[in-house]
Chains A and B, each alone.
Chain A
């Protein structure tokens, strides 16, 4: 029994890792108080304690239900949530809203859903049985924003639904549904895709018979581009799809063909759908309309320019035009939250956030590596990939790597749908991880992994 972290059980490591998270939240809230010239009261301390209490409750729940699950995923995700809460709390004063309170409520609700998912999906292989139902649910969710009465258009894209006062971004939940379907479908058909493949003109093509569902996914991505006009989500879905195809079949040519098809489709849509044309043109040259269409991405770059290496300081970056309420950083709480982080905490702050996403991806892929059956492997890979690609799409958008689109920065951006969906995603990853580690420990691993490689 050696001393140090390696000697601790997985759950005790999780518990230890939560302490810095609670500290970050406490210090962050205290910093916002200080910046706003308010009394540094007990309030910021109590926020930290509440947060720690909620995290502890979740930890105990994981300890009881999933004692073998990965110890770092929950603390890392709680870290991003805490960081998001601090950034939102800092925005409250300037935007005259209560973003942090809303987000904290969503966080609690997200953890409730997290607990429910763990409770009801203890044997998550049931998901395979309902894969077509789940796929249809996912597609229905994606279509919902175009439905009359509940659909809502934001900046030319159909991203949300609104039922009464409650708004919802269905793409967030749809991403989980679609990953479950793809993991299940590819688990069953991947060998057929590989075996039946033939070489045509030097390129390995999947058999026509099994190409159908893949074309459906491609069609769905194109469909989203045209009808939902959601460039970011469709990019994220399609990238996760290609990642799963690659991991399932090992055929790089499928990925290349898929990318080529996406490019062709995207080009056609770029030339015909005005909203997409605008987004891409602005990406290529934001200065063509600095006060209009290019405003958001230009302001994003300008705010980052103020950041430098270490940032302007917490709560020091201008979010609204001084003396008014017009935005200087439009959608700072959602699309541009990464910009705000770079502006206030500098390149180091931005890189730190990216590193946390990378750590989550590393743990997620680790779960996939340890899983013993194909569905678990593909599901963990797909969930991790879609999470990482979502972070890439929005950070890439605000840093002008790709066109700026309206997906959220997972767990940091303001938004209930995103928080809820990501904690369900976390629940699935922990379920897979718990089973894999339990099986490895008990030595009764299912079919040998060699069959799958």
Chain B
């Protein structure tokens, strides 16, 4: 019997080896696949167990915080946004099931504390759990609120940048949404015809209209294709590629210089100028301004849109790919830009021709208040010479003082700007209101503190009447603040 008992023990050994084999399959070899399973909510719950850091506005007011419930292994943290929709678009949301978006997604590592490796290992030894760092932003809550008030329910967007540093001071997209409702109402928000989840400042692609003439002018003056006093004949209309291109109101201007042409936003002047500059040079300057690639900002790249010329199939067109340079020069011809890109154009001119990388974050501090990291302003590109920038600034001052942008004037402060009105007939969501109204500019003109792009969708007004007052209000509140 003894040999059979030993064989039976052998059978038990083999059976138990099978158990260890299966355990290693689930715990080690197949673990990565199991963690990917849709039915597996453990990774989501684990993400909720980390206390994310706070996000604060420039004045210290709390934009996002995490509060915990439960204890032990079942403790969890839920994100709260005390200011509701005020910062919804730049900051986004962070919830276990819905994931992270916008700033919350881009700065996830800092907010969850995974970057502080040393601390992690140290805390692991002490049995302390991972805690996120706090991140402050340069966003200004009063400017955010004012932008919403001035948009007054109309769909649109406002971006305000500090030209010398690239700090984003305001980033507003209308309509807003309340990120606190995302866990319960995400499907409804996704299907809302007003697209409240869309961050129009970075993902809204709009025809820039005449505001793009700033890019054409910068290319012309800086490349030497045109002198500041050079005159070009600007008739009431031109025929370009078989289609008529005319001035607003049908006026003929005769021989004028670029300052006059910008002040009165003369289409025929800039169409001719575009041809004089040429596709290649215009594209070079567009590239320097940040067109044709995703903007370099601290937001996730899948939530950023490229500004540029798009073909009928939605593909980005380069120079030499059959684009109509005369129409691009005046902001038409399937040229689509984001409000952020146009704010960068204004900020570049305001900063003497240097484009600073736009940044929302300001500082990262650990839970004990020690500064872990600070935003160092850095230059993205040298777009144009200081002289060109100064010449453009003078022209833009004239736009506000005596041209199409008088509604952006502020008492006691010189404002430089450019209006734009793009007609987008047949846009379904607009209910027959055809215009996209724009104003881009900065102030004070001689020592710029703030550059702004404001745009309103679906209006029957002009950039100068609809968008300029919004930009003016936001600039005024941010100057000296």
Contacts and interface: CB of A to CB of B under 8 A. Distances in A.
A16 to B, nearest CB: 25
Contact of A305 (B3, B34, B72): B34
A414 B13 CA distance: 26
Contacts of B41: 321, 328
Interface string A29-43: 000001111000000
Given A328-B45, A358-B12, A365-B5, A346 B76 contact: no
B40 A321 contact: no
A29 B16 CA distance: 28
A395 B18 CA distance: 10
A358 B2 contact: no
A52 B15 CA distance: 33
Contact of B74 (A319, A347, A377): A319
Contacts of A400: 22, 26
Contacts of A392: 12, 15-16, 19
Interface residues of A, number: 62
A449 interface: yes
A248 interface: yes
B35 interface: yes
Interface stretch (A146-154, A172-180, A310-318, A425-433): A310-318
B2 to A, nearest CB: 5
Contact of B22 (A36, A302, A401): A401
A303 B127 contact: no
Contact of B40 (A302, A319, A374): A302
Contact of B8 (A36, A243, A317, A318): A243
A429 B31 CA distance: 40
A361 B20 contact: no
B184 to A, nearest CB: 15
A392 to B, nearest CB: 5
Interface string B30-51: 1110110111111001101100
A306 B3 CA distance: 42
Interface in B236-254: none
A323 B5 contact: no
A169 B81 CA distance: 52
Contact of B5 (A35, A305, A322, A377): A377
Contacts of B76: 322-323
Given A318-B73, A358-B13, A453-B1, A351 B30 contact: no
A322 B70 contact: yes
Contact of A369 (B2, B34, B46, B70): B2
B15 to A, nearest CB: 5
A88 interface: no
B6 interface: yes
A247 B8 contact: yes
A392 B20 CA distance: 11
B420 to A, nearest CB: 50
A365 B5 CA distance: 7
Contact of B28 (A36, A308, A396): A308
Contacts of A303: 42
Nearest to B75: A322
Contacts of A358: 12-13, 16
Contacts of A351: 20, 23
B71 interface: yes
A399 B23 contact: yes
A432 B181 CA distance: 69
Contact of B27 (A35, A246, A307, A354): A307
Contact of B42 (A36, A93, A328, A368): A328
B405 to A, nearest CB: 53
B24 interface: yes
A374 B5 CA distance: 12
Contact of B73 (A37, A319, A395): A319
Chain A interface secondary structure, helix, strand, loop or mixed? Answer: helix
Nearest to A306: B42
Contact of B2 (A291, A301, A449): A449
Contacts, number: 164
B2 A453 contact: yes
Given A315-B72, A400-B22, A305 B27 contact: yes
A345 to B, nearest CB: 10
A290 interface: yes
A134 interface: no
Interface string A389-429: 00010011001110000000000000000000000000000
B71 A308 contact: no
A227 interface: no
A347 B15 CA distance: 17
B72 A35 contact: yes
Given A306-B42, A322-B70, A385-B8, A399 B1 contact: no
Contact of A247 (B1, B27, B127): B1
A319 B30 CA distance: 21
A321 B42 CA distance: 9
A304 interface: yes
A362 interface: yes
B4 interface: yes
A320 interface: yes
A304 B26 contact: yes
B1 to A, nearest CB: 5
Contacts of B23: 304, 342, 347, 350-351, 354, 395, 399
B69 interface: yes
A350 B20 contact: yes
A20 interface: no
B46 to A, nearest CB: 8
Interface in A313-362: 313, 315-323, 328, 342, 346-347, 350-351, 354, 357-358, 361-362
Nearest to B38: A290
Contacts of A17: none
B130 to A, nearest CB: 12
Nearest to A361: B12
Contact of B127 (A35, A346, A357, A399): A35
Contacts of A318: 42, 45-46, 73-74
Interface in A233-266: 243, 246-248, 250
A220 interface: no
Interface string A88-127: 0000011000000000000000000000000000000000
Interface of A: 34-37, 93-94, 243, 246-248, 250, 287, 290-291, 298, 301-309, 313, 315-323, 328, 342, 346-347, 350-351, 354, 357-358, 361-362, 365, 368-369, 374, 377, 381, 385, 388, 392, 395-396, 399-401, 449, 452-453
Given A302-B35, A354-B16, 7 more contacts: A93-B72, A250-B1, A287-B37, A290-B39, A315-B73, A319-B73, A323-B74
23 contacts: A36-B71, A94-B74, A287-B37, A291-B39, A302-B35, A302-B39, A304-B23, A305-B30, A317-B73, A318-B74, A320-B74, A322-B74, A323-B76, A328-B45, A351-B20, A354-B16, A354-B19, A354-B20, A399-B19, A399-B22, A399-B25, A449-B2, A452-B1
4 interchain residue pairs of minimum CB distance: A322-B76, A305-B34, A290-B39, A399-B22
